Structure 1
């Protein structure tokens, strides 16, 4: 799939393993079938550039997909959920690589943040709003922090809600240690899918992003995590420190919630309820196991 250079034969199993782990962020066909069959079209109110925010929900919501995701598949559950509650909802594609259709979020995270910057500007111009709220899954919950910290995004964003975000990187349950066990592996993955190595715990990108603190003034941060996450591990590395931060573990709200990394972003109604609370904290209601039916 990634063809800019060919992997040495000894590295191919490792690269396949890392890509398979990253692919857990992408909804499968069966999972998509289990979600609402709505697409990102103006007819449904999603990505409707004629939508004007209401007094009740004065800011447009921009959804930011995860690694190997796209602007539709990642949001088959959450986008309709928010549209039904009166939000103007938009979603972008970012991190595209040449000759890799549908599977995005693979390019350098810094460049993806520049795409987000431009997209938020487009949404604000179309809606007439002064600020937007961002909701991202996995890489999409972490990447906007570069935009907020280094690209002036704090002046355009009221809140960032990260669903299973890779805020402090991941070990993918220890698999990333194999990058240094195979000579040339890290360089190969970085060349062909730089977003993967950007998200490895301790990467230069993450070191710079988190240096000096996790947050910037003026933005509210919410992190929604599950202890059953199998991709961004350990799961507590997703949490942020700083003023204006609300870290939520779903199992503290409902011990019976068994969602992993994909399900929490694609179909978990408890997570969706927490997103709605984060977007409108003045009207927040407690999240319980019964929130799955709301």
Structure 2
């Protein structure tokens, strides 16, 4: 397992130091995007959730020993096992009955993939997936080059990406093995799980943007711009956008969901 941390706001600790909160009893596991780590990408969101009284856990998954500061590179199937083990460890440490997951980009894809394929769905409650490449992404059109010569060049591209150490890049492209497996005709949202997918109409990496959504009964798919029309945030910025953060909090605690004043959004793409 990669590097990880338990980071609970003081208000979320009972006298024994157990990671519990009366208002928010579910610990929240945060999953970073491709090329990121547990201390970047979702780190500001994590602090925001702690200030709201949530107990949060995060890890760097999918990193190679020689490059511990770059996560999310290994194949989706390999990283998913690492994440599933981490989620079980969180439950054991906290004695919580359910765990919530918030993921961004590749981490959002993993938030869909892990419950379906690693056997942890029964201990998962709410999932908030920010800009997941659910149906594969062209990475802003770059991946289209892999198909210049049809399936032959697509297969060559796959070999190259896996050789240079980015199996996840291959897995998440159009026709990637993880994308095909996730969309195998069986439900992505697992029984007992609540799923919210948040996307931006200005996402320049998960393209077309609607491919982020999980088109199944009971899934809450929403564009940021439906709530905050003037927020033109891009893919990376979605992790740092306060409008997104407020949508996440409402998804994690729908009983107390509240309107919020929209900001102009994160300027970063």
- TM-score tier after normalising by the smaller chain length: 0.7 to 0.9
Offset of residue 203 of structure 1: 1.7
Q: Residue 52 of structure 2 corresponds to which residue in structure 1?
A: 85
Secondary structure class of the residue paired with 1:136: strand
- Say whether residues 1:247 and 2:214 are aligned partners: no
Offset of residue 232 of structure 1: 0.9
Deviation per residue, 1:199-242 (Å, 9 max, x gap): 01222221111112332211000011111111111111001122
Q: Which of 218, 223, 228 matches 2:197? A: 223
Secondary structure class of the residue paired with 1:217: coil
- Say whether residues 1:75 and 2:47 are aligned partners: no
Q: Residue 242 of structure 2 corresponds to which residue in structure 1?
A: 269
**How far apart in 1 are the matches of 2:238 and 2:75?**
25
Secondary structure class of the residue paired with 1:82: helix
User: What is the number of residues matched between the two proteins?
Assistant: 253
Instruction: State TM-score, norm by structure 1.
Output: 0.80
**How far apart in 1 are the matches of 2:95 and 2:264?**
33
Q: Residue 110 of structure 2 corresponds to which residue in structure 1?
A: 143
Deviation per residue, 1:150-179 (Å, 9 max, x gap): 221211100110111111110112211212
**How far apart in 2 are the matches of 1:287 and 1:248?**
16
- Say whether residues 1:213 and 2:178 are aligned partners: no
**How far apart in 2 are the matches of 1:290 and 1:180?**
40
- Say whether residues 1:116 and 2:83 are aligned partners: yes
**Structure 1 gap ranges (5+):** 1-39
Offset of residue 181 of structure 1: 3.5
Q: Residue 190 of structure 1 corresponds to which residue in structure 2?
A: 162
RMSD: 2.4
Q: Is residue 51–residue 88 contact of structure 1 (8 Å, CA) maintained in 2?
A: no
> Given the superposition, is the C-alpha separation of residues 168 and 289 from structure 1 closer, same or farther in structure 2, using an over 3 Å criterion?
same
**How far apart in 2 are the matches of 1:242 and 1:181?**
33
Instruction: State TM-score, norm by structure 2.
Output: 0.87
